Structure 1
Amino acid sequence: MSAGRLILSSGDPTVDRRIEWARALMEEGKAADAAELLGEAMERAGAYAPGWFLLGEAREASGDIAGALDAYRQAQALDAGDRLGSGLRLARLGGASDAEAGMSEAYVRTLFDQYAGRFDAALARLDYRGPELIDDALAAACVALGRAYAFARGLDLGCGTGLVALRLAEHVGALEGVDLSPNMIAEAKKRGVYEVLVAGEMVAFLAGRPSEDADLIFAGDAFCYLADLHPILAETRRVLEPGGLIAFTVETHEGEGILLRDTLRYAHAESYVRAALAAAGLELVSCVAESTRKEKEQPVPGLVVVGMRAD
């Protein structure tokens, strides 16, 4: 997503032309020139948040981190709900007070509302394997637990266009999905596999459900948009029936805790995932190192995890 295109015009044609010239300079690798041009533009349009955001990107690319932080702060102050994701940029550059505060709902919603129509094609180019990896992990878990690979009700968290649900549908009696993006929900409806689809936040979605309401909860390529996994896993345990399973993927890293990657997606260390499951009262069934996707032709380190509510 090009966040600076969220609002098409600053209201000043001269500023708009300078912003487009600056974009062209950025594409040519001339970030410092773009930053200079954008700085002049923002003197005329100081209330235009996307302009400040683009200035932050240009300054960051040119190595002016202090200037980038200032521009991102200006954008964040002007952008109600932080649709542009300035807070994430600040966190990644060390300019936020709480780097693990998480992504704004408005940012994630806006990102995927713009992305929905080309989402599946984009994932295909990234060699996305999330659905098959979750399917394989659940099948193996069911064998290990001595149970049939069959579930009465499955809840799909961050369902996107429904790729994982489509893969699992033959094993689940009733499927429900939730996603922050209404446009992604519209795409998911086309799959024809869900009984219910909800546009909303995944923790709130679970919090609104009765206890012991499902025997399967799954999330493919969704927890990378959450910093702290404890709230979602705590609600998962409450909503799962005893013996119910959760299957999910995360991006991971070799350190400890939570890392905000340059891609503005969170990576969770394996030790963090194991501890978060235990803290929620979920038993770890399996945790396998697998990459669900590629970036710049390189596999992104990841984990495929299955947990269980034991009682």
Structure 2
Amino acid sequence: MLPSQLSSGDVIADRRADYAKMLAESGEPASAAELMEQALELAPSWAAGWFNLATYREKAGNVQGAIEALNEVLALDEGDVFGARLKLAVLGAAELPERPPSRYVERLFDDYADRFETSLVEKLGYSVPQKLGALIAETADIPARFHLAVDLGCGTGLFGPEIRARVDRLEGFDLSKGMLAKAEDKGVYDHLAQADLSLAPPLSGAFDGGLAPARADLITAADVLMYLGNLQGVMAIVAELAAPGAVFAFSVEDAQEAEGYLLRDSLRFAHSEAYVRALLAAHGFVVHNLARSAIRMDGGKPVHGILFVTRKSP
């Protein structure tokens, strides 16, 4: 949550919201919702407060009330920094979006940057960087070394060390400046900059400072594409960025369905193998290796993913 949204601007409303949060954390979401409603009577234009109310109502089993609160969020925040449209889609009250709002993703990871690695790696058993790096290493018929690797959605730079020894130059791009700052601290990347993968080419529109096309011989996207639904735009970016014969290695959450993609309760997207293969073929990429694996834990259950190593036709 952005600093300007932490407070409603009303001391009493903030106090009631704090008590509501304590009730929710104590397993009393209905009481939390009631107290949050009282806070919003004092601060009716507080978008963050309405989003919290939606959360409490949903946990209390009041789905229609949650939907009403989420619609209030959207009325107050057209940029949808809280991802209310995603949540409405999960609740069956909106169409499946093709992608989350960029402001939502940026805010999510800026807020998460300081605790990202502790939460994801140590608590949730996140393993995509190691597994994707190993899959690249074991794939036949691809180069043993690369001139330029571009790590899309590099986050805090967890994948960089897995590939650094095989590349001459490593560049990382991410939407979150907070994540980029953490990646910079690792000293692994030669260049880091902001990028919005939800934007279609030309590359100058998606990347801070722009990028020349056909310049990378390795492109990676480790645990990134689950924050996009329709992958057509990002595949167009990859195809434009890739030199002839370039390797594109990436992961998706496994939809475990025949085709298409879906939005999960986690507000992440999962994609089917058939959907990904069709997009790859349409953009001139051939699958050279594929692995299915549990990529993290969520709510005590494994999240299943598919890891791909592909190559662009010469």
Residue pair 2:203, 2:213 contacting (<8 A) in 1 also: no
The aligned residue for residue 13 of structure 1 is 11
Q: What TM-score, normalized by structure 2, do the two folds share?
A: 0.92
Check if 1:138 corresponds to 2:141: no
How much does 1:133 deviate?
A: 1.0
2-side partners of 1:279 and 1:40: how far apart? Answer: 54
CA shift in 2, pair 1:196/1:225, >3 Å: same
The aligned residue for residue 107 of structure 2 is 110
Aligned length: 305
Check if 1:274 corresponds to 2:271: no
Give the CA RMSD over aligned residues.
Answer: 1.7
- Give the 3-state SS of the residue equivalent to 1:47 in structure 2: coil
Residue pair 1:4, 1:53 contacting (<8 A) in 2 also: no
Unmatched 5+ stretches in structure 1: none
Q: What TM-score, normalized by structure 1, do the two folds share?
A: 0.93
How much does 1:203 deviate?
A: 5.2
> 1:190 is aligned with what amino acid?
D
Residues 139-178 of structure 1 mapped to structure 2, 5 A cutoff: 139-141=137-139, 144-145=140-141, 147-178=142-173
Pick the aligned partner of 2:310 from 296, 307, 310. 307
Residues 30-179 of structure 1 mapped to structure 2, 5 A cutoff: 30-96=28-94, 98-124=95-121, 125-141=123-139, 144-145=140-141, 147-179=142-174
2-side partners of 1:70 and 1:238: how far apart? Answer: 42
The aligned residue for residue 290 of structure 1 is 293
1-side partners of 2:49 and 2:197: how far apart? Answer: 31
- Give the 3-state SS of the residue equivalent to 2:229 in structure 1: coil
CA shift in 2, pair 1:6/1:229, >3 Å: farther
The aligned residue for residue 223 of structure 2 is 221
2-side partners of 1:163 and 1:76: how far apart? Answer: 34
Residue pair 2:255, 2:271 contacting (<8 A) in 1 also: yes
> 1:113 is aligned with what amino acid?
D
CA shift in 2, pair 1:167/1:105, >3 Å: same
Residue pair 1:206, 1:236 contacting (<8 A) in 2 also: no
Unmatched 5+ stretches in structure 2: 205-210
> 2:62 is aligned with what amino acid?
D
How much does 1:123 deviate?
A: 1.8
CA shift in 2, pair 1:252/1:295, >3 Å: same
Pick the aligned partner of 1:265 from 263, 268, 274. 268
2-side partners of 1:120 and 1:11: how far apart? Answer: 33
How much does 1:173 deviate?
A: 0.7
- Give the 3-state SS of the residue equivalent to 2:159 in structure 1: helix
Residue pair 1:161, 1:185 contacting (<8 A) in 2 also: yes
2-side partners of 1:152 and 1:4: how far apart? Answer: 39
2-side partners of 1:188 and 1:113: how far apart? Answer: 13
How much does 1:33 deviate?
A: 1.4
Q: Which moved more, 1:222-231 or 1:292-301?
A: 292-301
> 1:250 is aligned with what amino acid?
V
- Give the 3-state SS of the residue equivalent to 1:81 in structure 2: coil
- Give the 3-state SS of the residue equivalent to 1:254 in structure 2: coil
How much does 1:80 deviate?
A: 4.3
2-side partners of 1:84 and 1:197: how far apart? Answer: 26
How much does 1:6 deviate?
A: 6.5
Residue pair 2:86, 2:97 contacting (<8 A) in 1 also: no
